[in-house]
A and B are shown apart, each in its own frame.
Chain A
Amino acid sequence: MSALLETSDLTIRFGGLTAVDSFNLAISEGELFGLIGPNGAGKTTVFNMLTGVYLPTEGAVHFDGNLINGKNPVQVARLGISRTFQNIRLFDELSVLENAMTGAHQHSKINLFDSLLRTPRHYREEKRQRDRAYELLEFMGLEDRAGLPAKQLPYGHRRKLEIARALATEPKLICLDEPAAGMNSGEKVELSQLIRKIRDELEITVLVIEHDMKLVMDICEKIQVLDYGKTIALGTPSEIQNDKQVIEAYLGGE
């Protein structure tokens, strides 16, 4: 079976710094895949290259039969990769529901004049977006906060809203950048269940960066470990836990 996402010798340099070095990743459809590594290892940089935010210096990213490098974030989103951000990037002045609705914008087939003149197509589109966004808020357990401005949302909920917004783009692959950061243990348990549900019920492939080892080991089927831009291990959670190099990297890195 060929991979949904595959990178070959992906490399990016910032001046003299090689942030990601000959990175190879293969994720099959339906997998729940973990990417871990100490701070500064290059994990977020990998996400930026997968989503068209950064152009790799060398190497290639293939997704679902398309070459990703050279495409901009908008084009990548349309191909079906969505993501969240380590440093949350919500649309603060929009409501929780409207934030989720913005994810559905790219599938809208109406033009500006439909909205300006309030044609029936405009109302249908509004309803489609609102219904879908509301479903996803329910899925993430945020429906009670739908009308609240996003900026008033507590921290843990902000992370969940980012996931709901990313899901509203109807992706084939969702990349979560430290979704549990700043959450308390109760929220983390709930989040693990939600991530599993995203894969099991919505049938979306998940790639997750996470520092919480318990959460990663718990939910991921396969884990790849990055250190100083290089892959140092790839395997199942139990293989990773017993890997000498990984233990060293974490002990040395922390």
Chain B
Amino acid sequence: MARMFGILIVAIAVTFGLNWLLDSFVDDYVVRIINLCGISIILAVSLNVINGLCGQFSLGHAGFMAIGAYVSAYFTTTLRYFDEAQAKYVAIEPVFAGQWGFVPALLAGGLAAAAAGAVVGIPTLRLKGDYLAIATLGFGEIVTIMITNFEKVGGANGLPGLPAYSNTFWIYSFVVLVVMLSWALQRSTFGRALIAIRENELAAEVMGIPASRLKVTAFIYGAFFAGVAGGLLGHLLQTISPATFNFMKSIEVVVMLVLGGLGSMTGAIVGAIVLTVLPEALRDVESSVGLPGIRMVVYALVLILLMIFRPQGVFGQKELSLKLLRRLMPGSKDKEGEA
């Protein structure tokens, strides 16, 4: 435990230093992409616990992000809306003002998303079969529709004026946290139990592993961090709208996992970075070639090629480690075959 806290504190100190370095010496646009990468990593690593480790197909990450974003914004942002009864604009002052209110606001967003995860997960994860995909799909739609119809938070027009609290320090502190916790989870009796459920649910249950309960736990864990990531994204973009968290956002996170290899956390991280940087790079191409939409074509192409040549993802279920790197080096004796 002491070691865990030690690593955490060192890592957070490093992100603090990194934040300072980037702020002082690196172009804003690059910093922004680095920050977006961090948010993508939180999303991909947390979804990997549900989809990869536990083998449950969730399409709900955007919905949980939306809840996290709006709930955290509720605590940090002055809400202005037209009050019908008083026939005038009114403002609600933020509950937690100032930078130090940011973490409690993020945690509140995460907890709200986790609670929503319990509501969606408890009834559906008990059923065998792919009900979760359908239920989470529906859930995402319901969340966006509810926000669209909720005028106090701006409805379809979105909610502007979120304070710019998100920075490299906060984002990467949560990256460190989610990576460490997910790693600890994966390498524990609970992680093995989740993999057992993925590999053969009946055998897992016959061995006394409470599959439904663990699936719900994994789902809530993933939802919590999706909520936190939503809060971080909201305070980075400073304006959020239901469209920010539409169905494509969920698909994007799934694609990150598939690219990196479902079940591999390092794969999820690499997938998150590639699929955050690539669209930005392609955006430049789009504007220079004058072909809007080519981004999506490339996206689809990458996926199709991957499905053909490496359906298990770049990493399969392996974790990137020095040992693996050495084995993959050309000329090494026990070179890995393409499974």
Further contacts, 9 of them, CB under 8 A, given A82-B207, A83-B206, A118-B184? A74-B205, A89-B200, A89-B202, A90-B203, A91-B195, A93-B199, A104-B189, A112-B190, A126-B189
Q: Are B195 and A116 in contact (CB under 8 A)?
A: no
The answer for the CA separation of A165 and B204 in the assembled complex, in Å, is 10
Interface set, chain B 178-212, CB cutoff 8 A to A: 181, 184-185, 188-193, 195-196, 198-200, 202-211
Q: Are A73 and B189 in contact (CB under 8 A)?
A: no
Taking CB atoms, residues of chain A closer than 8 Å to B206 are 51, 53, 73, 76-77, 82-83
- Please report whether the interface of chain B is mostly helix, strand, loop or mixed according to DSSP: helix
Q: Are A89 and B203 in contact (CB under 8 A)?
A: yes
Q: Are B210 and A129 in contact (CB under 8 A)?
A: no
The answer for the CA separation of A76 and B200 in the assembled complex, in Å, is 18
Q: A51-B206, A93-B263, A169-B208 are in contact. Are A116 and B196 (CB under 8 A)?
A: no
Interface set, chain A 80-111, CB cutoff 8 A to B: 82-83, 85, 89-94, 98, 101-106, 108, 110
Q: Are A94 and B263 in contact (CB under 8 A)?
A: no
Q: Chain A, interface size: which category?
A: 35 or more
Q: Are A102 and B217 in contact (CB under 8 A)?
A: no
Taking CB atoms, residues of chain A closer than 8 Å to B211 are 74
Taking CB atoms, residues of chain B closer than 8 Å to A72 are 205
Interface set, chain B 24-83, CB cutoff 8 A to A: none
Taking CB atoms, residues of chain B closer than 8 Å to A91 are 195-196, 199-200, 203-204
Residue of A89, A101, A104, A117 touching B1 (CB-CB under 8 A): A117
A143 at the interface (CB under 8 A from B): no
Q: Are B184 and A116 in contact (CB under 8 A)?
A: yes
**Residues of B in contact with A (beta carbons under 8 Å apart):** 1, 3-4, 181, 184-185, 188-193, 195-196, 198-200, 202-211, 217, 263, 317
Can you list 18 A-B contacts (CB < 8 A)?
A: A74-B208, A85-B203, A89-B202, A91-B199, A91-B203, A92-B199, A93-B195, A93-B198, A94-B196, A102-B204, A106-B208, A106-B209, A110-B189, A112-B185, A115-B189, A116-B188, A118-B4, A119-B1
A5 at the interface (CB under 8 A from B): no
Taking CB atoms, residues of chain B closer than 8 Å to A165 are 207
Taking CB atoms, residues of chain B closer than 8 Å to A119 are 1
The answer for the CA separation of A73 and B195 in the assembled complex, in Å, is 18
A172 at the interface (CB under 8 A from B): no
CB distance from B183 to the nearest CB of A (A): 10
Taking CB atoms, residues of chain B closer than 8 Å to A122 are 188
CB distance from B277 to the nearest CB of A (A): 30
Q: Are A166 and B207 in contact (CB under 8 A)?
A: yes
The answer for the CA separation of A110 and B195 in the assembled complex, in Å, is 18
Taking CB atoms, residues of chain B closer than 8 Å to A89 are 200, 202-203
CB distance from A187 to the nearest CB of B (A): 22
Q: Are A102 and B209 in contact (CB under 8 A)?
A: yes
The answer for the CA separation of A83 and B205 in the assembled complex, in Å, is 11
